[in-house]
Amino acid sequence: MKLLVVLAALVALCAGSPTLLIPGDNSHYVEGESRYIWMPDGEGVPHLVDLQEKDDDEVSRESRNGANNQYWLYTRQNPNSFQLLVHNNINSVRNSNYVASRPLKVIVHGWNSNGNSEINPMVTSAFLAVQDCNVIVVDWRALANSAYWTAVNGVPSVGQHLGDFLQWLINNAGGNWNNVHLVGFSLGAHVVGNAGRRVGNRASRITGLDPAGPNWGGNSNALRAADGQYVECIHTDGGLLGIMDPICRANFYPNGGRNPQPGCWISTCSHSRAYEFFAVTIRYNRHVGRQCSNIQQAQNNGCSGSSLNMGNAVLSKRGNGLFGLSTGNSWPF
């Protein structure tokens, strides 16, 4: 079961590491070796996670199959209150504001979050501000709010159910894969990767926002560069809560791609910067990456090659390689 912040200090004392007493401080963490790491919930509050905690079999049986996914539709006609779309219920779509000719944006939250968590209204409102589009927020809280290992193990099926839903939606209500943009944060990045594979890599664009790192190194279910027509990652807490490796076709490393990001003092803040940066790029599209020769150059923010804008909402965006850039320390960065 998840460990709550109010109990984290006691667990930390037992773990014998003084740094664990500071919520959000992951300076103790060594990738592939450490047992404990602080992770943020959907509001950025740190929770101490035991990476060796056993899978929750009861939760797995009830919710790992992804059938509990909910699909919340937002449009310019209903920007603040969602309409529930139900898989295999065409009337739920016909009675909604879904318009097949519009671009379709899909947003997937991470661990210990839900459809109301900060990423969703922030990115949804940004998309609707610049485009007349359909935005579907995927709420997979039944599994996301379980133990971290349980959530990790359930990611493939959550993504596959999402892919099946999108296939059904486009086949029955209309749409075009060239208008589909999948966006996922942390564990959600791996969810959209699995969804992209499920639909035959046809989505025009996939954006992974600091794809989750713990227990994902070498994991065959992780987001991949070929999961869509164009797959982009924005790395902000590489080597801690996020993956540093360039797993996408285009990989952006703002401020070196690592903790601390400007204005952040703890890793959990740096992790969440990924969706904050992305929301800004949708609205303003002015953060320009410069291509790097290698990962070390990206980490040192010393890149000076060709230009490619980070993030944004452009469906036809294409690019390949590693890109570095600098940002400010507060909105709009």
Catalytic amino acids? 186, 210, 271
> Among all chains, which residue has been given the structure tokens 């390689």?
321
- Please, which residues have CB within 8 angstroms of residue 98's CB and are 6 or more apart in sequence? 73, 75, 83, 85, 134, 169, 173
- Please, which residues have CB within 8 angstroms of residue 93's CB and are 6 or more apart in sequence? 85, 169, 172, 173
Check if the beta carbon of residue 15 is closer than 8 Å to that of residue 35.
yes
- Pairing label, strands 104-108, 180-185: parallel
Check if the beta carbon of residue 204 is closer than 8 Å to that of residue 104.
no
Rounded to an integer, what distance in angstroms lies between the CA atom of residue 263 and that of residue 37?
21
Token pair of 5 as six digits: 């912040």
Check if the beta carbon of residue 218 is closer than 8 Å to that of residue 31.
no
Q: What are phi and psi of 9, to 5 degrees?
A: -60, -40
Token pair of 195 as six digits: 């969804």
Check if the beta carbon of residue 190 is closer than 8 Å to that of residue 160.
no
Residues in the chain, overall count: 333
The 3-state DSSP class for residue 125 equals helix
Phi-psi bin for 24: left (phi > 0), alpha (psi -120 to 50), beta?
left
**Other CB atoms within 10 Å distance of the CB of residue 41:** 21
